[in-house]
Structure 1
Amino acid sequence: MTHPERVCVAAIAGSFGVRGEVRLKSFTADPEAVADYAPLTTEDGARSFDLTLGKSIKGAFAARLSGVRTKEEADALKGTRLFALRSKMPDLPDDEFYHADLIGLEVVDTGGTVLGRIRAIHDHGAGDLLEIYGPGLKSTVLVPFTREIVPTVDIAAGRIVADPPEGLF
């Protein structure tokens, strides 16, 4: 499994004000550090933006993106995810991972049975949850991403080993 060359670090939640500023949600551990990784690109790499953070506003920042001058241009970018080059990102400690590296990994139990794949990572304030989908599951399953429940993450092998609570799968 190859590491993507880019990591999703932010998303545009819509426009802010009337002069082309956007509401920017930062996904970096230190939310203000997102500006350090500019220029940021769209997922397809077609557009690149320099970034100037403004004030903090309800779970986001007012931000100015290069080339975005009007409220209409800012509105048109709503929902756009922004990516930084992995080479600009800090190296992580051994027990931390970029979400982009976990999505798509195969999930096996401690007996080697495939449980599914990671679809998404959610954080509702009490720690990360892995959303797992796969064959035989009526719906996705949320598994707490803790060392006890997920003792092994092997990015190179493209899999994690999980020891989920009885009855979860």
Structure 2
Amino acid sequence: MSANPARTQLRVGRLVKAHGLKGALKLELYTDDPDGRFVPGAVFTLQVPESSPWHGKTVTVREFKWMNSHPVVFLDGVDDRNDAESLVRAILWVDQDATAPVVEDDAWYDHQLVGLDVVRDGDVVGRIARVDHFPSQDLLIVQLAGGQDREVLVPFVKAIVPEVDMAARRLVVTPPAGLFEDLPAEDDASDESAGEANTGS
């Protein structure tokens, strides 16, 4: 028999704020299908600091609802506001089959992104070395092309990464000036101009 398919994890949300007195938590969603992801009984792995009492544990959804257009989740074992406060900022991950296609828009597994060419203005400027996850956003770590021994951290947001083309194995970036190259030293130029002006007086 073949071995079990490889497993990976997909980030689906972050617990951002305790809500009310009964253990509810407001969610920041990283999924296009929250009603399908946060069904009663769904289990999530927690990303929390090692010092947290929740480190290494999972949580199970008891109830998910929308309150004033905000997604709110109730978790087993989180019964009051104090419990909820201890989970604020925790990131929720779900176990997935790494070989299964991602059905949500604009969602990819890390292993799918690693190795993609990074293209700017039609030119390949580097390749994805890894993906780092932080509470505020994800960062793409790009190994620069052309033999440069340098990595660039690219925020994985639509404004900077407008296109991910899995078929072509490439990712298009529109970075701000200075992200991939050093900006000219404007201060030096200003000093030179000031020096010329002073010598003329």
Per the normalisation by structure 2, the TM-score is 0.53
In the alignment, the residues of structure 2 paired with residue 43 and residue 27 of structure 1 have an alpha-carbon distance, to the nearest angstrom, of: 14
Which residue of 2 is the match for residue 91 of structure 1?
Answer: 101
Which residue of 2 is the match for residue 41 of structure 1?
Answer: 45
Residue 23 of structure 2, aligned match among 20, 26, 42: 20
Q: Alpha carbon RMSD of aligned pairs, Å?
A: 4.2
Residue 70 of structure 1, aligned match among 54, 63, 80: 80
Report the Cα offset of residue 133 of structure 1.
5.9
**C-alpha contact 1:12 1:25 (8 A) present in aligned 2:** yes
In the alignment, the residues of structure 2 paired with residue 132 and residue 8 of structure 1 have an alpha-carbon distance, to the nearest angstrom, of: 15
In the alignment, the residues of structure 2 paired with residue 113 and residue 100 of structure 1 have an alpha-carbon distance, to the nearest angstrom, of: 22
Residue 70 of structure 2, aligned match among 60, 63, 70: 60
**C-alpha contact 2:42 2:61 (8 A) present in aligned 1:** yes
Q: Give the gaps of 5 or more residues in structure 1.
A: 122-129
Q: How many percent identity over aligned positions?
A: 15
CA separation of 1:65 and 1:138: change in aligned 2, threshold 3 A: closer
In the alignment, the residues of structure 2 paired with residue 143 and residue 13 of structure 1 have an alpha-carbon distance, to the nearest angstrom, of: 25
Q: Give the gaps of 5 or more residues in structure 2.
A: 1-5, 49-54, 145-149, 181-201
CA separation of 1:46 and 1:162: change in aligned 2, threshold 3 A: same
**C-alpha contact 1:4 1:100 (8 A) present in aligned 2:** no
Q: Which has the larger radius of gyration?
A: 2
Which deviates further from its counterpart, 17-26 or 107-116? 107-116
**C-alpha contact 1:108 1:114 (8 A) present in aligned 2:** yes
In the alignment, the residues of structure 1 paired with residue 26 and residue 11 of structure 2 have an alpha-carbon distance, to the nearest angstrom, of: 16
Equivalent pairs, count:
149
In the alignment, the residues of structure 1 paired with residue 22 and residue 42 of structure 2 have an alpha-carbon distance, to the nearest angstrom, of: 21
Which residue of 2 is the match for residue 125 of structure 1?
Answer: none
Whether 1:8 and 2:11 are equivalent positions in the alignment is yes
